[in-house]
Amino acid sequence: MTAHSFDFNGQRLDARASGALFWPARRCLVVSDLHLGKSERMARRGGALLPPYETEATLDRLEAEIAATDPDIVVSLGDGFDDDAAGRGLPDAVCQRLRTMADGRRWIWISGNHDPGAICPRMPGQSVDALHDGLVLRHEAGQGPDVSGHYHPCVTLAGQRLRCFLVGRDHLILPAFGTYTGGLPVTDAALARLVPQGIAIACGGRPFVLPVGLQRQPRKKAGGWRRPF
Amino acid sequence: MNLPQDFQDWFAAQGWQPHPHQIDLLNATGDSLLIAPTGGGKTLAGFLPSLVELRDPPGGLHTLYVSPLKALTADIARNLSRPVADLNLKIRIEDRTGDTRSSQRARQRIDPPDILLTTPESLALMLSYEQAPAIFGSLRRVVLDELHALAENKRGDQLMLCLSRLKALAPRLIVTGLSATVEDPDRLARFMGSATVIHADPGPDPDIAMLPTTRPAPWAGGGGHYSVPDVLTEVARANTTIIFINTRAQAELFFQAIWAANDANLPIGLHHGSLSREARQRVEAAMAAGELRAVVATGSLDLGIDWGSVDLVIQVGAPKNVKRLVQRIGRANHRYNAPSRARIVPANRFEVIECVAALQAVRERDLDGDDRGPGPLDVLCQHILLTACAGPFDADDLFREVREAGPYRNLDREDFDACLDFAATGGYALRAYDRWQRLMLRDGLWRLRDPRAARDLRMNIGTIVEAEMLKVRLRGRGGTPLGEVEESFASSLVRGDTFLIGGQTVRYDALREMVVEVTRQPTKEPRIAVYSGLKLATSTQLSHRVLALVGDPAAHAGLPEDTRRWLALQARVSTLPRPGVLVTESFEHHGRWHFVLYGFAGRHALQTLGLLMTRTMEIGGLGPIGFLATDYALLITSLDAVTDPAPLLDLDGLRGGLGDWLASNAVMKRTFRNVAVISGLIQRNLPGQRKSGRQATFSSDILYDTLRRYDPDHLLLRITADEARRGLVDFDRIEEMLGRTDRIDHRMLDRVSPLAAPLMLEKGRVPIAGQAQERMAEAEAAALMAEAGLTT
């Protein structure tokens, strides 16, 4: 099982273990915060010379998701590129790869705070600020209900940090799909304000669900998963 | 150089005679390494030539003193002030550490003192400034203190690279290394480049023995709590005692146990690296003032300021390493020519044997120590980048200079060029950064492409990479800081969980702005404090001694009665492990099969062996369930019996398995993180820099996985693999164990053997489950949902 199905504002959606969202009724695959070109941007700004493979790695994973879901529409939910220059500076081979992936599908770039003008003619698809199609899709959560990205939500379980979907009444927030992306704990004030109560769907080897915004109760000492022996 | 008359008079006025080694150092014309026990006037010996030369100060920086501890630099400054005042020397002595004010640092760059006291990291920083040639050009002498401690890790490698830089800037430099007793002084001298070894009189043999206890050591466990009444009796008899415990968690537990029995209310303190700096300083000050009768401590007190009043050292738990034991013993009695007094307390029966073997080694002055191998390349990468911060350099010149450093004397040009390429371009197979290189070659010289990068590089100086630590504070406004715990420990806590820190039980309330908030909870039993890092493995040499002692019934006379009976029973129902023979046993217990291998190869190697063997057993269908590694033995539990261990121990098979397993191993990821920080691939997290409310930087694990997949031959992966082999993975010692094995003696038994029985009681088994961590996370998620009355 690589996906967890749930309802959000009357729509049945699949949270996939990869961090992508699939909307079966529209045959629409949504990924957020790809941050393509991140290592190049850091180098350009005189920072660390990180392994320059994250664009390739991110596209490898996106390709696998497209192959698994065969969507009619692919939506990048903002911050597809680490900045405008990163978008325009992507190597031709990468643009070619994107065009191949987009072949026979609609491809939509929603612009984010990092990449308001990153789309160039070498890339497939069109660029919009937001998408209104039964659900509102935008980069940063606004007047709900909406589906957004931007915050890179994550949870820590058993000492392990996992990216997660954050689902509340008004907002559905996607994890970052890009390889070189960090996470913001769902308990952080910025996220707690948007989703005071709801569920997180953590992206492990398969997705699993836990509550958010409920007081965690102390549990009894004996047994428990923390002491397997 | 003769000791001038006024110096001779000064010695006489103190009622002292110059030690022969002090005169030897005065006469030395080249680099020297002084090996002396504590209390041997080592520091004065190191500074004496400088003080004599500084009777007539030539101006500019004359002497540089480098110590591993900031606290020592302040202490030295105090100690030197007396002879300087008495002899009416017109010299300025200043220290320069991470704590020095920036205004003073700036002034020191323009107008350096005659004697500067510093740490390896501060020296590296000073050498990265453009003014380095002006500051150090006049340097005549360098004194390296506690060199034995520095040489054990990468700080020493960095210091040696800095030393060859200094020698290039000041060719007339004379270097003096000061060291406690080490197993191989010539190796330490080679580490310095080249130096003449001078031995001080080692002093009388220490008075060291096992502490007689009213109850025998337990079969298993590591706490040593059974000895508390006997330890208290010794503390009451002595003036001041240091009680060394091997890990921080055990120190906390022992401290609690000793206070529970401390009816006389003897003032006893606690000192370890996880306590807040204020708490440690309070204990140090109380020790210095003679207010404490004892302090329970970890390796955090292995080095440090001499406390003259300490007259007894008690080591609880096996010493693991003879050299460290000897150095710890030296903390007792800093009066030269009086024997140090020490008692050791084994924590369990296996450790009884180890303690007896270690005592023999101490008496025979047979110290141990494993060669660390050639200088690590991540440190060299940092050095190259810092060299570029100071100014443009020629690659050939730098290569020659680096090879002057002891640890890098055999560095080949290919490795050097790989490090230079890493520093310049990242060293990736995909040459993605030609436009954004960090270092550029212009007019034949390498230099920073963007000079502003120097600031970040300087922020990243040093080779100590701490685990991510979170501060612990009492709840409420301005709550008292108690210390630090590892982030991984903190993230496993649930509200209401209790743990020990600073000798008190506290309850976890919340994690707020990266601070763990707790409330005092004196009545509750603590959840075991597991926040200390890693346990040390018993040294190769001591392991060999233990094996020889176990395997030779004639030598058992030196063991306590109950231990003798235990080994005799083992000889009767199975067989004794002995040099040349690798003894293994299989037996059934409670419906599970157990396989025991008495490898005596240290816990890290046996842990790795456990992982590799259980993989093979999994493939062979033996159904391994879990395993446990100690310093002596490996215990594997499985559904089916191991009847022939030989195929599982095939060295080529193990090597092959190692490569696969390393791919996803947490130890490797941690090792990679350290390498990535030191080499300058990623910036270290500075205290106060991590703020909540922002998306945290992504983890270095992602970089590790990405490199392994897309650039498997990258330099940093090679450094990581080299390091893990020697360090936590310790595959070298698996090879060593198999190399000394002439034959395997496998016994099929009908019950648990006497030697195996204690292993069955040990905690800390590793379950075999590929997805163990994820399953635990899912279980927690399910439990939380259930608690919240939800089902998925």
Is B772's pLDDT higher than 50?
no
The stretch A114-134 carries a mean pLDDT of 83
Model confidence band, residue B660 (pLDDT cutoffs 50, 70, 90)? low
Which residues from chain A sit within 8 angstroms of residue B696, using beta carbons?
Answer: 182-184
Phi, psi of A159, deg, nearest 5: 75, 10
In a domain, A222, yes or no: no
Which residue, B128, B713, B721, B438, is CA-closest to A50?
B438
Strands laid side by side in the B581-589 sheet? B743-748, B581-589, B592-597, B634-638, B624-629, B766-767
- For A199, the 3-state DSSP assignment is strand
* Domain match, B409 and B279 both: no
| DSSP count for chain B of H helices, then E strands | 30, 26
Q: Which positions in chain A touch B436 (Cβ < 8 Å)?
A: 40, 43-44, 46, 49
Could you tell me what percent of chain A has a pLDDT over 90? 59
DSSP-derived pairing of the beta strands B63-66 and B634-638: unpaired
**pLDDT at residue B532, as a whole number:** 43
In angstroms, what is the C-alpha Rg of chain B?
A: 28
Question: Are residues B598 and B562 part of one domain?
Answer: yes
Structure tokens at B702: 């992602």
Smallest Cα distance from B255 to chain A, Å: 24
pLDDT score at B466: 65
Highest mean predicted confidence (pLDDT) among A8-17, A122-131, B317-326, B492-501 = A8-17
Q: Is A11 within the bounds of a domain? A: yes
Residue B177 lies in a domain: yes
For an interface test with A, the pick among B499, B592, B690, B778 (most A C-beta atoms closer than 10 Å) comes out as B778
Note whether B143 and B101 are same-domain residues: yes
Interchain CB distance below 8 Å, B453 and A54: no
Please compute the mean of the pLDDT values over residues A100-127 and round it to a whole number: 86
Question: Cβ–Cβ of B452/A46 closer than 8 Å?
Answer: yes
Domain boundary among B532, B559, B580: B532
Using CA atoms in the order B378, B379, B383, B385, what is the torsion angle rounded to 10 degrees?
A: 30
In contact, B183 and B32? CB cutoff 8 Å: no
How is residue B69 written in tokens?
A: 């501890």
Q: Considering Cα of B575, then B581, then B586, then B589, what sign does the dihedral take?
A: positive
Q: Which is more confident, B144 or B256?
A: B144
Instruction: Return the ∠ at Cα A45 (arms to A40 and A49), rounded to 5°.
Output: 50
Q: Identify the pLDDT of residue B703.
A: 92
- B382 min Cα distance to partner chain A (Å): 13
Domain-located, residue B376: no
In 3D, which of B611, B623, B628, B620 has the Cα closest to residue B668?
Answer: B611
% of chain B at pLDDT higher than 70: 88
Alpha-carbon distance B267 to B292, whole Å?
A: 5
Residue/partner pairs of B476-482 with CB below 8 Å, 24 or more apart: B479/B517, B481/B276, B481/B278, B482/B275, B482/B276, B482/B279, B482/B506, B482/B518
Write the residue in B438, B706, B785 that is nearest to A54 by C-beta: B706
Cα three-residue angle A37-A38-A43, rounded to 5 degrees: 100
List the domain range (segments joined by +) for residue B491.
469-532
Write down the pLDDT at residue B33: 96
CA distance A151 to chain B (A): 7
Q: Answer yes or no: is pLDDT of B480 > 60.
A: yes
Domain shared by B179 and B238, yes or no:
no
Residue B235: is its pLDDT beyond 50? yes
For residue B788, give the nearest of A156, A205, A211 by CB distance.
A211
Residue B270 in domain: yes
Residue in chain B nearest A57 by alpha carbon: B706
- Please tell me the number of Cα atoms within 13 Å of B778 on its side-chain side: 12
**pLDDT score of B203:** 78
Query: What is the average pLDDT value for chain B, to the nearest integer?
Result: 86
H/E element, B316? strand B310-316
**From B488, which residue of chain A is nearest by alpha-carbon distance?**
A159
Domain's final residue, options B400, B435, B459: B459
Q: Do B645 and B722 belong together in one domain?
A: yes
B358/B322 Cα distance (integer angstroms): 6
d(CA B192, CA B406): 5
**pLDDT tens-digit map of B3-25:** 899 999 999 998 888 888 999 99
Sequence-separated (6 or more) residues with CB below 8 Å from residue B544? B579, B600
Tell me whether residue B682 is in a domain: yes
In angstroms, rounded to a whole number, what is the distance separating the alpha carbons of residues B161 and B258? 45
Q: Do A181 and B703 touch (CB under 8 A)?
A: no
Considering only CB atoms, A211 lies closest to which of B428, B702, B784, namely: B784
The CA distance from B399 to the nearest CA of chain A, in Å, is 23
Q: Which residues of B are less than 8 Å from A160 in CB distance?
A: 773-774, 777
CATH label of the domain that carries residue A80: 3.60.21
CB contact under 8 A, A158 and B492: yes
Q: Is residue B658 part of a domain?
A: yes
CB contact under 8 A, B494 and A210: no
| Closest partner CB to A52 (pick from B428, B497, B792) | B428
Q: Alpha-carbon distance B447 to B439, whole Å?
A: 5
How confident is the model over A15-23, as a mean pLDDT?
96
Same domain, B526 and B604: no
Shared domain for B507 and B557, answered yes or no, is no
pLDDT of residue B302 exceeding 60: yes
- Write the CA distances from A85 to A2, A91, B435, integer angstroms: 35, 12, 14
Q: Which of residues 139-198 of A touch B (CB under 8 A)?
A: 151-152, 156-162, 176, 179-184, 188-190
Q: Given CB atoms, is A49 within the 8 Å cutoff of chain B? A: yes
Looking at the domain assignment, is residue A200 inside a domain?
yes
Per the domain annotation, does A154 fall within a domain?
yes
Average pLDDT over residues B96-109: 85
Instruction: Pick left, alpha or beta for residue B262 (phi over 0 → left; psi -120 to 50 → alpha; otherwise beta).
Output: beta
Task: Classify residue A227: in a domain, yes or no.
Answer: no
B371-397 per-residue burial string, b: 16 or more CB within 10 A, e: under 16 = ebeebbbbbbbbbbbbbbbbebbebee
Q: Do residues B357 and B409 both lie within one domain?
A: no
Claim to verify: residue B324 and residue B433 sit in the same structural domain: no
- The verdict on A219 touching B (C-beta cutoff 8 Å) is yes
The average pLDDT across B523-542 equals 66
Candidate from B703, B782, B784 with C-beta closest to A216: B784
Query: Based on the structure, what is the number of domains in chain B?
Result: 5
Residue A67 lies in a domain: yes
- In this structure, the answer to whether residues B527 and B578 fall within a common structural domain is no
User: Between chains, do A210 and B785 touch, taking CB under 8 Å as contact?
Assistant: yes
* B370 in any annotated domain: no
Examine the domain organization and report whether B388 and B351 are in the same domain: no
Tell whether A59 is within 8 A of chain B (Cβ).
no
pTM tops 0.90, yes or no: no
In chain A, residues with a C-beta closer than 8 Å to the C-beta of B714 are: 51
Please indicate, yes or no, whether residues B193 and B246 belong to a single structural domain of this protein. Answer: no
pLDDT score of B652? 87
Q: What is the pLDDT of residue A228?
A: 26
What is the CB neighbour count within 10 angstroms for residue B271?
23
ipTM of predicted complex: 0.86
Residue B775 has pLDDT above 60, yes or no: no
Domain that holds residue A184: 3-130+139-212
The reply to whether A82 falls in a domain is yes
Q: Tell me the sheet residues that pair with B488.
A: none
Nearest by CB to residue B779, choosing from A151, A211, A225, is A225
Average the pLDDT over B576-585 and give the result.
96
Q: Is the pLDDT of residue B691 over 50?
A: no
Q: How many domains does chain A have?
A: 1
Q: Given an 8 Å threshold on Cβ–Cβ distance, is B781 in contact with A216?
A: no
Q: At B541, which helix (H) or strand (E)?
A: helix B540-551
Most A CBs within 10 Å, among B592, B637, B672, B774, to test the A interface? B774
Give the separation between CA B268 and CA B296, rounded to whole angstroms: 7
Is the backbone of residue A27 left (phi > 0), alpha (psi -120 to 50) or beta?
left
Which of B101-110, B174-183, B366-375, B770-779 comes out lowest in average pLDDT?
B770-779
Minimal Cβ distance to A188: which of B527, B626, B693 = B693
For the domain that residue B299 is a member of, what is the CATH number? 3.40.50.300
Interface mutation target, options B678, B698, B710, B720, chain A, most CBs of A under 10 Å = B698
Q: Does the residue B788 lie in any domain?
A: no
Asked whether residue A150 is assigned to any structural domain, the reply reads: yes
Is B428 or B770 the better-scoring residue by pLDDT? B428
Q: Stretch B453-461: mean pLDDT, rounded?
A: 88
Q: CB distance B697–A184 less than 8 Å?
A: no
